Amino acid sequence: MRLPRFLTNITGLLAGDGHADRVVPPTGFTAQLTLFAAGAMAFLAVFAAALSISTGRLADRWSDELARTATLRISAPAEQLEAQAAAALRLLETTTGVASARRITAQEQQDLLTPWLGPNLPLDALPIPALIEVTQTREGIDADGLRARLAGEVPGAVYDDHARWRAPLVRAAQRLRGLGWLSLLLITGVMGAMITLAASAALAANARVIETLRLIGARDAYIARAFVRRFTERALIGAAIGAALGTLSVALLPSADTAGGFLTGLGFSGAGWLLPALIPVIAAAVAFWATRTAALRTLRNLS
Amino acid sequence: MRLPRFLTNITGLLAGDGHADRVVPPTGFTAQLTLFAAGAMAFLAVFAAALSISTGRLADRWSDELARTATLRISAPAEQLEAQAAAALRLLETTTGVASARRITAQEQQDLLTPWLGPNLPLDALPIPALIEVTQTREGIDADGLRARLAGEVPGAVYDDHARWRAPLVRAAQRLRGLGWLSLLLITGVMGAMITLAASAALAANARVIETLRLIGARDAYIARAFVRRFTERALIGAAIGAALGTLSVALLPSADTAGGFLTGLGFSGAGWLLPALIPVIAAAVAFWATRTAALRTLRNLS
Amino acid sequence: MACDCTAPQCQAHKGGKTQTGQAVIELENVSYSYGGGELLSDISLRLMPGSFHFLTGPSGAGKTTFLKLCYMELMPTSGQLRVFEKPVGKMTRDDVANGRRRIGVVHQDCQFLNHLPVAENIALPLTVSGRDPAGEAANIMELIQWVGLANHADVLPPQLSGGERQRAALARAVVMSPEVVLADEPTGNVDWDMSQRLLQLLIELNKMGKTIVIATHDLNLIRAAKAQVAARVLRIANRRLQLAGADL
Amino acid sequence: MACDCTAPQCQAHKGGKTQTGQAVIELENVSYSYGGGELLSDISLRLMPGSFHFLTGPSGAGKTTFLKLCYMELMPTSGQLRVFEKPVGKMTRDDVANGRRRIGVVHQDCQFLNHLPVAENIALPLTVSGRDPAGEAANIMELIQWVGLANHADVLPPQLSGGERQRAALARAVVMSPEVVLADEPTGNVDWDMSQRLLQLLIELNKMGKTIVIATHDLNLIRAAKAQVAARVLRIANRRLQLAGADL
Ligand SMILES: Nc1ncnc2c1ncn2[C@@H]1O[C@H](COP(=O)(O)OP(=O)(O)OP(=O)(O)O)[C@@H](O)[C@H]1O
Ligand SMILES: Nc1ncnc2c1ncn2[C@@H]1O[C@H](COP(=O)(O)OP(=O)(O)OP(=O)(O)O)[C@@H](O)[C@H]1O
Ligand SMILES: [Mg+2]
Ligand SMILES: [Mg+2]
């Protein structure tokens, strides 16, 4: 009797989460393709996400730090210098957009100038200007308004918002951030399209199976469910593996010298490390939708 | 008589580049998949190439410009200053690794210091140090050796190779360049894998066709050629469209302010614009190889 | 009355067996065309429960098309088709699926799920209708033995011979004990002895009150059946369905 | 001598027609197994040019397997098989392809290229062997008409009925005027009149000196053929090939 193996099969059919899964062929190139497409695109998406987050962070830092510091230089005869500096500090206190203002000490000034003037220059003896470091709030200072007020109250003050230095840096940083988001968008789009096409191709390869099932009395919902479950699972697994490998690679990239502070390392920070977990979810959602649509489209052509 | 249409078909079979092409089904999801996979990956590859070339250029610029300029500051009593400056220039002339050395004029020095000291400081009257701008050759200067020689011959000279500023910037630039190449490598790899899988899937979908052809007496070479030609063509067309769209998008991205000079725009320059043309060639080569392998593998399983 | 053809000779034929109730499949002036000219024109027929019909006609006449209408793979281009007393035009897709569970079909090109063993393929109608094949394993095995596939229960369908495929298809068609069995050329690839066994199976079912329709070119098969049941022969020719009785 | 079976009754059968030269297909103690037990054991046979054989045997006996050996889809697991006097073991893959151009085959499951019209499918053997179908369009059309597919020349294969597929497959098998025609159940889905037409085509070819082997369950077809040509009947049963003559 060959019954035993047959019975085992029947039992296998009953076990797990329902019979429907077994009616979908488990392997084949289109299955591999779905897995790989989901995996590879998830891997790239993690990279793109890391890139855009890192550059976003960089852009924030540059814009913030550069945009939010300014300098007020007060040149005046020695006897008026202190008075004007005090007036300027008072004026800044009542200016909207100023987060803090601080007189730069003589020592700091000396340190800044040493590379140019050498350590031996007697700065104290010179009529050098007073410098006030201004930190702006996120809203920023109305530079023209401030200059007008300064012209009246502190005639010796020159306000420098570092625009000359800032503009290209901020532009560059924003550009990097934009490119990062663009890549992420592109790659997510390609991932979606790829999964959709792979699911459609796999479903087309299974058109016969669907037809056979429909002709022996399977309901649409049963057939669609079997395929949707299988393909969503494939996309989810593929994308999860890809995203995990991507995250691992990002984590293993030698971290940049953050002390240099100029460009942070590629990577996520804090809760950002959870972001890659979103990618398999997106992949699974796309696969769910794509398979459902393709399955129902195939079924619509059958009576 | 239904002959006419039949004859037309036969004629169609004869026209073009041989009969073999017609035996491969022209459409289907796997065909679309091959086209799209090649197209999408080519599009991304162009972006990655643009990114890595731009960052490569940026890294070169930063490393070059920053690493290859240095400053020599000479502080000395006013009467010795000119003599020591002249001695330093002579010494630099005989130092290996120095491309050029130039005394910075008083006007330049004034411009550099204005933000800190204000425009009214009488620099001429001050005992400010002399500054010499040194440009290094690609080999670089042996900084310690130079400092030792300077200590003997130009006691007032301090050599500053900007290492403090340079290191993080160069690291950052090299990191960007590395990331660019990594992306390009990854995306090209994914492109190759995707085209390989799409070709395999398409070929698996055509297993029946191959079997039928083989059984009616077609030689392996005939069958393989038909599929290889069709699929190479598909990958080439897909990748060409993708690369063209990618190049167009890169070209249409708002160009960065190159005057800022800090980060150049994403894009190719000069002959670099021809680089995207390589991508379809790579895609076609991969498709050729993948289809050939898959076709011969399928055929090997048939007698 | 078992048969209700429009053909004049039809009225002469009365069922050999008492048949009551409504027709399981009823065609009223049904026509069908694949897009070109009409393939089937103005066909009327009532298939009564417990009747046994053969369907003949030249190759390409439309036998398969006729059967596809009966199990709702095709919809009439005109006329009224009722399956289990329900007009097909008013059925939802789930109604169609449920209707098919009461009709066993042997398709001319027997399609299986190539990744499942023959036994599971034969049990598939149970599986997709939510019934538990394990509970009926003994019956299924008996059926598999009857069609001579006991040694092939756990191989995959691509490893079957042509005749074995047909037998597996027949087994799958009857595994649910459906009210109607439509068999399209079920013995084209089996030898005479096996075709008698398969015929026996269908006759057994018919005796249980099931409706049987067999499309075939094999006149010997028809003769053998007529010796055992009150089988009638329908013939499709020139787009029409006729009752061909006396000439066999 | 047309037949060289190991079966004892074989020696009694002499060709009705003078046959000279070497056997086109020659099996010497050939066995075949799909992996389990042996399906065909120790089979010896010489198919002479111009001979006409039927191949019968119960479903699953190995008829299709035997034909697959003859056109080199399968290789013997033991024994010597020569096709056109060349041992198959020594053939390159291109030799096999070239050999197949001299053998026309009707497969039991007729496979076509579904994206090409029927006429192009029938002409395909010419195409793949580098011959120009346009130059033979008139002959091809005549052939298509003979098998009754004139109205279906430009439809796609999935739109053919079961019998039409078989006829198209036969037309494709003979389009090259091959030296050998192997037909696996070529009339399982066609009506009697059509099967006579198809038989006629094969008899015509046989009269031109071609070797014909037809695997079939249809004893009437064999009887009809025997009335016209010196056909011999081979029977596969219990892993052996026997010559079954007198019992028909
Ligand atoms: N999907 C289709 N599209 C267009 N024409 C079709 C289609 N299916 C079948 N036909 C045509 O309809 C006619 C009848 O086909 P059908 O399969 O019903 O014949 P049949 O009586 O079953 O023949 P056979 O005995 O050869 O199986 C044939 O001429 C066939 O070419
Ligand atoms: N690819 C295969 N792998 C394993 N077993 C196979 C394979 N193909 C056929 N068989 C088995 O070999 C046996 C003979 O098959 P074959 O197709 O030769 O029979 P046949 O005589 O042509 O039968 P039929 O008249 O039903 O077509 C069958 O029992 C079948 O199950
Ligand atoms: Mg039919
Ligand atoms: Mg067979």
Name the least confident of A119-123, A127-131, D170-174, D239-243.
A119-123
In a mutational test of the A interface, the residue from C124, C142, C181 whose CB has the highest number of chain A CBs within 10 Å is C124
| Cβ-proximal residues to B208 (8 Å cutoff; 6+ apart), any chain | D111
Residue D10's pLDDT band (cuts 50, 70, 90): very low
**Residue A153 and residue A210: Cα distance in Å, rounded?**
84
- Nearest CA to CA, how far is D217 from chain B (Å)? 24
**CB contact B87 to A (< 8 Å):** no
Superfamily of domain D1-102+181-186+212-248: P-loop containing nucleotide triphosphate hydrolases (3.40.50.300)
Task: Identify whether the C-beta of residue D154 lies closer than 8 Å to the C-beta of residue D117.
Answer: yes
- pLDDT at position B169, please? 64
Max CA separation in chain D (angstroms): 50
**Residue C28 and residue B50: Cα distance in Å, rounded?**
70
Kindly calculate the radius of gyration of chain D based on its CA atoms and give it in whole angstroms.
Answer: 17
- pLDDT at position C248, please? 45
Q: What percentage of chain D exceeds 70 in pLDDT?
A: 90
- pLDDT at position C9, please? 37
Write down the mean pLDDT value for chain D: 87
Q: Which residue has the tokens 């690493």?
A: B67
Q: What percentage of chain B exceeds 70 in pLDDT?
A: 77
Secondary structure class of A159 (helix, strand, coil): strand
Say which residue, A23 or A258, is predicted with more confidence: A23
DSSP string of B99-123, one letter each residue: EEEEEPPHHHHHHHHHHHH-TT--G
How does pLDDT run across B172-185, given as a tens digit for each residue? Answer: 667 767 777 777 88
Cβ of D163 less than 6 Å from ligand 1: yes
Torsion, Cα A105 A108 A113 A117, to 10 degrees, reads 80
Say which residue, B264 or C50, is predicted with more confidence: C50
Atom of ligand 1 nearest to the CA of C67: 18
How does pLDDT run across B180-206, given as a tens digit for each residue? Answer: 777 788 888 888 888 888 888 888 888
> What are the boundaries of each domain within chain B?
13-58+167-302, 76-155
The strand pairing partners of B1, in sequence order, are none
Say which residue, A47 or D20, is predicted with more confidence: A47
How does pLDDT run across C84-138, given as a tens digit for each residue? Answer: 999 999 999 999 999 999 999 999 888 899 999 999 999 999 999 888 888 888 9
Tokens of C11: 């009225």
- pLDDT at position C19, please? 43
Task: Identify whether the C-beta of residue D115 lies closer than 8 Å to the C-beta of residue B25.
Answer: yes
Residue B259's pLDDT band (cuts 50, 70, 90): very low
- pLDDT at position A164, please? 60
Task: Identify whether the C-beta of residue D73 lies closer than 8 Å to the C-beta of residue D23.
Answer: no
**Residue A251 and residue A274: Cα distance in Å, rounded?**
13
DSSP string of chain D, one letter each residue: -----SSGGGGG---SS---S--SEEEEEEEE-SSSS-SEEEEEEEE-TT-EEEEE-STTSSHHHHHHHHTTSS--SEEEEEETTEEGGG--HHHHHHHHTTEEEE-SS----TTS-HHHHHHHHHHHTT--GGGGHHHHHHHHHHTT-GGGTTS-GGGS-HHHHHHHHHHHHHTT--SEEEEESTTTTS-HHHHHHHHHHHHHHHHTT-EEEEE-S-HHHHHHHHTTS--EEEEEETTEEEE--TT-
Task: Identify whether the C-beta of residue D166 lies closer than 8 Å to the C-beta of residue D190.
Answer: yes
pLDDT reading at A1 higher than 50: no
Residues of B with Cβ-Cβ distance to D133 under 8 angstroms: 10, 13
Terminal alpha carbon distance of chain B: 40
Task: Identify whether the C-beta of residue C157 lies closer than 8 Å to the C-beta of residue C206.
Answer: no
Tokens of B281: 């060639």
pLDDT reading at B18 higher than 90: no
Task: Identify whether the C-beta of residue A114 lies closer than 8 Å to the C-beta of residue A75.
Answer: no
Secondary structure class of C45 (helix, strand, coil): strand
User: According to CATH, what is the number of the domain B76-155?
Assistant: 3.30.70
Q: Quick check: C97 and A218 CB within 8 A?
A: yes
**Residue D228 and residue D38: Cα distance in Å, rounded?**
36
- Of B240, B269, B299, nearest to B43 by C-alpha is B240
Torsion, Cα A107 A113 A119 A123, to 10 degrees, reads -60
Max CA separation in chain C (angstroms): 51
**Per-range mean pLDDT, top range of A106-110, B30-34, D197-201:** D197-201
**CB contact D64 to C (< 8 Å):** yes
Torsion, Cα B16 B22 B27 B33, to 10 degrees, reads -80
How does pLDDT run across A203-226, given as a tens digit for each residue? Answer: 888 888 999 999 999 999 999 888
Distance of CA B5 to the CA centre of its chain: 53
| Cβ-proximal residues to B84 (8 Å cutoff; 6+ apart), any chain | B74, B76, B130, B154, B155, B156, B157
Average pLDDT over residues B64-75: 74
Q: Quick check: B73 and A36 CB within 8 A?
A: no
Chains that contact B by 3+ CB pairs under 8 Å? A, D
**CB contact C114 to D (< 8 Å):** no
ipTM comes to 0.81
pLDDT reading at A44 higher than 50: yes
- pLDDT at position D246, please? 46
User: Interface of chain D against chain B, CB under 8 Å?
Assistant: 71-75, 93-94, 96-98, 100-101, 105, 107, 111-117, 119-120, 123-125, 127-129, 132-134, 137, 141, 150-151, 153-154, 172
